[in-house]
Amino acid sequence: MTFESLGLHPQIIKALTDAGYTEPTPVQAQAVPAAIAGRDLLVSSQTGSGKTAAFMLPSLHKFASAAAEGSAGKTPNQQAQAARARGERPRFAPAQPKMLVLTPTRELALQVTTATDKYSTQMRRVKAVSILGGMPYPKQMQLLARNPEILVATPGRLIDHMESGKIDFSQLEILVLDEADRMLDMGFIEDIELIVSRTPETRQTMLFSATLDGMVGNIARRITKDPQLIQISGSSTRHENIQQRVHFVDDLLHKNRLLDHLLRDVAIDQAVVFTATKRDADTIADRLNIAGFAAAALHGDMHQGARNRTLNAMRNGQVRVLVATDVAARGIDVPGITHVFNFDLPKFAEDYVHRIGRTGRAGRKGIAVSLVNHAEGVHVKRIERFTKQSIPVDVIEGYEPRKSAAPRARPGWKPGDGRKQGSGGKPGQRTFAKPGAPRKDGGGYRGNREGGRSDGRRG
Q: Residues in the site for ligand ADP, rule: CB under 6 A?
A: 21, 24-25, 28, 47-53, 333, 361-362
Q: What minimum distance in Å lies between the beta carbon of 272 and ligand ADP? A: 15
Q: Which residues pair with 273 in a beta bridge?
A: 323, 341
Q: Which does 148 bind (CB under 5 to 8 A by kind): ligand ADP, Mg ion, none?
A: none
CB of 241 to Mg ion, least distance (A): 17
Question: Closest Cα to residue 323, out of 370, 288, 358?
Answer: 288
Binding residues for Mg ion, rule: CB under 5 A, are: 51
Residue 12 Cβ vs ligand ADP, minimum distance, rounded to whole Å? 12
Q: Which is nearer to ligand ADP, 57 or 219 (CB)?
A: 57
Residue whose CB is less far from ligand ADP, 47 or 373: 47
Torsion 437-440-43-299 (CA) sign: negative
∠ CA(249), CA(358), CA(288), 5° rounding?
50
Between residues 333 and 344, which has the closer beta carbon with respect to Mg ion? Answer: 333
Q: How far is the CB of 299 from ligand ADP (least distance, A)?
A: 21
Query: Between 349-356 and 377-387, two packed helices, what is the crossing angle to 10 degrees?
Result: 70
Binding partner of residue 341 among Mg ion, ligand ADP, none, CB under 5 to 8 Å per kind? none
Give which of Mg ion, ligand ADP, none residue 431 binds (C-beta under 5 to 8 Å, depending on kind).
none
Partner whose binding site includes residue 333, from Mg ion, ligand ADP, none (CB under 5 to 8 Å by kind): ligand ADP
Among ligand ADP, Mg ion, none, partner that 49 touches (CB below 5 to 8 angstroms by kind) = ligand ADP
**Binder of residue 401, out of ligand ADP, Mg ion, none (CB less than 5 to 8 A by kind):** none
By beta-carbon proximity to ligand ADP, the closer residue of 53 and 295 is 53
Burial degree of 288 (CB within 10 A; 0-12, 13-18, 19+): buried
Region at 134 (left for phi over 0; alpha for psi -120 to 50; beta for the rest): left
- Dist. CA 221–CA 226, nearest whole Å: 9
At position 148, the amino acid (one-letter code) is P
Query: Residue 53 touches which of Mg ion, ligand ADP, none (CB < 5 to 8 A by kind)?
Result: ligand ADP
Q: Which residues contact 335 (CB under 8 A, 6 or more apart)?
A: 361, 362, 364
How far from the centroid of its chain's Cα atoms is residue 342's Cα?
A: 17
CB of 186 to ligand ADP, least distance (A): 17
Biggest CA-to-CA distance, the chain? 88
- Residues 6 or more apart whose CB falls under 8 angstroms from that of 238 comprise 46, 387, 388, 389
Could you say which of Mg ion, ligand ADP, none residue 21 binds, taking C-beta under 5 to 8 angstroms by partner kind?
ligand ADP
> Minimum Å distance from CB 213 to ligand ADP?
18
Looking at beta carbons only, is 110 or 175 nearer to ligand ADP? Answer: 110
Least gap, CB of 274 to Mg ion (angstroms): 18
In the list ligand ADP, Mg ion, none, the entry touching 362 (Cβ below 5 to 8 angstroms by class) is ligand ADP
Task: Choose from ligand ADP, Mg ion, none: what does 97 bind? Cβ within 5-8 Å by kind.
Answer: none
- What's the first-to-final CA gap in the chain, in angstroms? 37
Nearer to ligand ADP, 16 or 273 (CB): 16
Are the CB atoms for 380 and 346 separated by under 8 Å?
A: no
- Residue type at 443? G
At its nearest, how many Å lie between ligand ADP and the CB of residue 51? 3
How far, in Å, are 113, 199, 220, 320 from residue 217 at the CA level? Answer: 26, 20, 5, 38
Angle between helices 214-223 and 189-197 in degrees, nearest 10: 10
CB of 280: closest distance to Mg ion in angstroms?
A: 26
Choice between 177 and 285, CB closer to ligand ADP? 177
Number of other CB atoms surrounding residue 30 within 10 Å: 21
The nearer residue to ligand ADP, 272 or 380, going by C-beta atoms, is 272
Min separation Cβ 451 and Mg ion, Å: 26
Q: CA distances (Å), 76 to each of 81, 127, 145, 168, in order? A: 9, 15, 9, 10
Please compute Rg for the chain using Cα positions.
24
Element holding 208 (H helix, E strand): strand 204-209
Name the binder of 422 from Mg ion, ligand ADP, none, CB < 5-8 A by kind. Answer: none
Rounded to whole angstroms, how far apart are CA atoms 391 and 432? 7
Identity of the residue, 104 or 418, whose beta carbon is nearer to Mg ion in the bound complex: 104
51 vs 278, beta carbon nearer Mg ion: 51
Our CB check for ligand ADP shows the closer of 107 and 344 to be: 107
> φ and ψ at 254, to 5 degrees?
-60, -40
